[in-house]
């Protein structure tokens, strides 16, 4: 079973890239973030034509998430139950016995801002819910654009970016607290090459110079850990014409 996550940064713009990528990488589940469209605009038929069922939760201009699956997804839930939020950030479902949660974590803008406070509250709400989900669904995968780096190894210039957004101790505390619930970073279950990133700014030739961040993560429950056979960042699509600024991350499970 293969699962992947990709912040597509507008499905309207990059649907052809998603279809092309799926043709080359027929994963069982693809979680998309920042689809940036209302529900009525979602291209369900185009995806069905290539063998994917879709569950989506859209929002005009901003945010928006979707799960594309080759087999039916059941028990679909949108956003974080019990956490009041008017942003379309989370979609979860059960696929082939695995509870899959695709999430677009808040950016936070900058430490000390109202958006940063929202991010902190959102992370707390997510953690409280994931704790409950793990009790109900031991086989669980949480993946998406987390907008947080784990540590300096995830940052192209740790000194220059110290205490900036995505790299603050407050954000990393919440990420560690998520892991402490009984999750693990799938990529780091294997040797990781230095300077392995999943996001690069569009400006200043950042991708060409590999000035990036690893902010797209796949966390797996301890019950699934022994089934993880591979986890890789696919940098290929970042070289496309008019690419997303994020690259897909792909998890392979032995099931």
CA neighbor of 7 nearest in space, from 105, 125, 115, 124:
105
Q: H or E element: which one contains 232? A: strand 228-233
For residue 145, indicate whether it is catalytic: yes
Q: Choose, from 104, 139, 154, 197, the residue flagged as catalytic.
A: 104
For residue 104, indicate whether it is catalytic: yes
Q: Choose, from 28, 52, 139, 145, the residue flagged as catalytic.
A: 145
∠ CA 106-29-53 to the nearest 5 degrees?
105
Residue with tokens 């998603």: 18
Instruction: State the distance between the two ends of the chain, measured CA to CA, in whole angstroms.
Output: 6
Strand 183-185's sheet: what is its strand order? 74-78, 90-95, 98-104, 140-145, 216-221, 183-185
Query: Could you list the active site residues?
Result: 104, 145
């Amino acid at each position: 079973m293969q699962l992947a996550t990709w912040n597509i940064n507008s499905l309207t713009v990059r649907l052809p890239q998603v279809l092309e990528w799926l043709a080359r990488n027929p994963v069982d589940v693809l979680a998309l973030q920042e689809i940036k469209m209302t529900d009525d605009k979602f291209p369900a038929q185009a995806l069905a034509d290539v063998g994917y069922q879709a569950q989506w939760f859209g929002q005009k201009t901003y945010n928006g998430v979707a799960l594309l699956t080759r087999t039916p997804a059941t028990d679909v839930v949108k956003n974080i139950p019990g956490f009041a939020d008017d942003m379309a950030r989370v979609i979860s479902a059960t696929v082939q016995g695995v509870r899959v949660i695709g999430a677009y974590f808040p950016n936070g803008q900058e430490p000390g801002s109202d958006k940063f406070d929202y991010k902190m509250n959102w992370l707390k709400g997510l953690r409280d819910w994931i704790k409950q989900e793990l009790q109900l669904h031991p086989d669980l995968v949480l993946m998406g654009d987390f907008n947080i780096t784990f540590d300096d190894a995830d940052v192209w210039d740790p000194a220059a970016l110290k205490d900036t957004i995505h790299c603050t101790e407050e954000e990393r505390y919440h990420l560690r607290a998520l892991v402490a619930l009984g999750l693990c970073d799938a990529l780091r279950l294997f040797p990781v090459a230095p300077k392995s990133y999943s996001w690069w700014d569009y400006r200043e030739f950042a991708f060409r110079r590999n000035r990036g961040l690893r902010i797209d993560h796949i966390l797996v429950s301890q019950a699934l850990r022994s089934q993880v056979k591979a986890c890789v960042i696919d940098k290929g699509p970042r070289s496309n014409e008019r690419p997303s600024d994020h690259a897909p991350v792909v998890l392979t499970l032995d099931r």
